[in-house]
A = this chain, B = another copy of it.
């Protein structure tokens, strides 16, 4: 996954939030605070993940493609399906696959059934790359999350689901 955002080094203090709330009475101070807090931690996490992956010569988008392929029993999928699962456009997936193919981590296999389509196959080198990256990633992630016990992790996911349910309010036509 790939995540970029202004890092918000400078989250508003409650003082600043109150000042804004005076001018804009609709402001819900704790809502804003939690929202920005969430975005900032997520962004910092994503940047850290990038750092971790780049040590293995991988970019987030490509790493995610490798994982999606490994999930398949056949270690094979198509660009369209991968794009849909990864949440990027087919155009972007073309670029990701280009990079992976150049590195020998996946290969394009042309099929006879539907000549519009291409199969993307995880190579042995691709699997080997995952076998190097994933233990490092899992080990680090375990440490990163060790501050939360099981109950807290469940709570966190529940709260995230509640926020997720509210997202349409941000985009609705009004």
A interface with B by C-beta (< 8 Å): 1-10, 12, 16, 19-20, 23-24, 26-28, 30-46, 48-49, 51-52, 60-61, 64, 68, 70-71, 84-88, 131, 134-136, 138-148, 150, 152-157, 159-172, 174
Contact = CB atoms under 8 A, between A and B. Distances in A.
A169 B153 contact: no
A27 B49 CA distance: 15
Which of A5, A31, A61, A172 has most B Cβ within 10 Å? A5
A17 to B, nearest CB: 10
Contacts of A140: 169-170, 172
A33 B64 CA distance: 15
Contacts of A8: 1, 64, 86-87
A124 to B, nearest CB: 15
A110 to B, nearest CB: 25
B86 A138 contact: no
